[in-house]
Structure 1
Amino acid sequence: MKSNRFVSYFLIATTCCLLLGCTRAHNLPGETGTVEGRVLYGSGTIPEGSSIVMLHKRTGIPAVGITDSTGKFTMTMRDGPDVLVGDYVVNIRPPGEIDDDVLKITPETVPPEWNMVPRKYWNPMTSNETYSVSSGSNVYEFTLSE
């Protein structure tokens, strides 16, 4: 009788794991790594609360990290610490909200914090910043330029 109960519990636990995905640490389509880093600009950092956005070139899945007061960040993808291995285009979204009625984003139409980050980094099409994530731990440190 004990054997049947054990088998039943084992089958229930296995089924739950398969349904809930506990056999996989993430819900990403491929090999992953983790990314921590720091971004600098001039002799200091960019505004605290800036979003570092990395867009995976093959899948289009974004990874995001939020800077602290020293410019450090940890990337997350789909609310987890794992980030897909591969090549990324990187841009930065400084803190602060843009008015809904703004038709063109310019230094005059953005919150003051945005002007503490070079404009080219606001858009992934103009930032020219790229990064390659490898499996395991990755450290991404970069300095912004005009």
Structure 2
Amino acid sequence: MKKKFLAALAFSTVALTSVFASSASASGDEAGWQYVGAFDVHVTSNSNVLMSGGGNIEITMWNTYSASQARGVKVYEDDPAGDDYITTILLAPGAEKVVSVSGYTDGTNGKAEIYLEPNGTIGQSTVQATMRD
């Protein structure tokens, strides 16, 4: 009886461990996206810099001056030898855009240092967006 109990206990422990391990490995979402940080793009200045391991990043706008108006931003890779333009995207509130940053990883850290620049007018306040890698 004691052996059956210990066997059942061991099986339950293994089953629970695998459930928690699989949910921990998907700490982003089902697609494997991991939250990196938030950008603040001001009317007259570039955003802060966020690091990417390369591949694709996903940028989602979540706050603007006008909740119904899309805003254009340019995506750059910060580089001491001269910043690399990656693309221009139009972000509507809540919209997600996937951008390839393959080939932009560099330096001793092997990361792509990504920032956003306003493309034309972005209203009278700050556009805020999140980045997932």
The normalised TM-score by structure 2 is: 0.37
Higher strand share: 2
Q: Which has the higher contact order (CA 8 A, sep 6+)?
A: 2
So what's the TM-score if we normalise by structure 1?
0.35
